[in-house]
């Protein structure tokens, strides 16, 4: 691929996918799994029931994790070790104040070698580093649509890989 010479988005990559059914979400999850690298920060954005946890579960399944994948709604974090990667799944929906993120001591997970996948990142917004990848999910009739946005060099690489696989 030849990058555009002086475009304003040289370090960004964005594309949209239609996910007509849960199987399509699972395929995107598998593509996400295939694009993971240590230290990536991934935001999953979208309304209740948009498919953020389903997508994460599908990614973990694709990484050969066969145990139960629960929503971290109450625990805030669910940790996994898969394919020699530490993966942390967060859900900040229940925060009423972003400072609860600091009080919970969760900042120690960010900026390290672990992969962080965050549902409801806006609930901790001022404290979180900029993500490499954002996946925006929205309900579209009986199905879903996903917008995949890679930011910065690592995010760009990750988004491009997802686009290739998905």
Ligand X SMILES: Nc1ncnc2c1ncn2[C@@H]1O[C@H](COP(=O)(O)OP(=O)(O)OP(=O)(O)O)[C@@H](O)[C@H]1O
CB 141 within 8 A of CB 111: no
CB 64 within 8 A of CB 83: yes
CB 26 within 8 A of CB 32: no
Among 92, 119, 121, 134, binds ligand X (CB under 6 A): 119
Among 27, 39, 71, 157, binds Mg ion (CB under 5 A): 71
Partner in contact with 144, chosen from Mg ion, ligand X, none, beta carbon below 5 to 8 Å by kind? ligand X
Looking only at residues 86 through 145 of this chain, which bind Mg ion when binding is defined by CB under 5 A? 119
Partner in contact with 36, chosen from ligand X, Mg ion, none, beta carbon below 5 to 8 Å by kind? none
Spatial separation of the C-alpha atoms in residues 36 and 19, rounded to whole Å: 21
**Sole window of 35-43, 59-67, 124-132, 137-145 interacting with ligand X (rule: CB under 6 A):** 137-145
Angstrom CA distances, 102 to 35, 72, 135, stand at 29, 17, 24
**Sole window of 46-54, 75-83, 94-102, 149-157 interacting with ligand X (rule: CB under 6 A):** 46-54
| Chain centre to alpha carbon of residue 74 | 19
CB 127 within 8 A of CB 101: yes
CB of 41 to ligand X, least distance (A): 18
Partner in contact with 19, chosen from ligand X, Mg ion, none, beta carbon below 5 to 8 Å by kind? ligand X
- To 5 degrees, how large is the angle CA 158–CA 164–CA 165? 90
* DSSP summary character for residue 166: -
Count, residues near ligand X per rule CB under 6 A: 20
Q: Does 34 bind ligand X (CB under 6 A)?
A: no
Give the interface with ligand X as residue ranges (CB under 6 A). 19, 21-22, 24-25, 46, 48-54, 71, 91, 93, 119, 142-144
């Amino acid at each position: 691929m030849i990058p555009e010479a002086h475009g304003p988005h040289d370090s960004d990559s964005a594309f949209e996918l239609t996910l007509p059914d849960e199987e399509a979400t699972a395929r995107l999850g598998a593509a996400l799994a295939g694009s993971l690298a240590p230290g990536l920060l991934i935001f999953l954005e979208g309304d209740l029931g948009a498919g953020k946890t389903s997508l994460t579960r599908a990614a973990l399944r694709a990484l050969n994790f066969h145990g139960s994948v629960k929503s971290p709604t109450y625990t805030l974090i669910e940790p996994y070790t898969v394919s020699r990667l530490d993966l942390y799944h967060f859900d900040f929906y229940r925060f009423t104040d972003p400072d609860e993120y600091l009080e919970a001591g969760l900042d120690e997970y960010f900026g390290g070698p672990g992969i962080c996948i965050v549902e409801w990142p806006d609930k901790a917004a001022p404290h979180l580093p900029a993500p490499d990848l954002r996946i925006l999910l929205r309900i579209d009739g009986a199905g879903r649509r996903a917008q995949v946005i890679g930011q910065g060099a690592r995010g760009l690489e990750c988004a491009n890989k997802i686009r290739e696989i998905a």
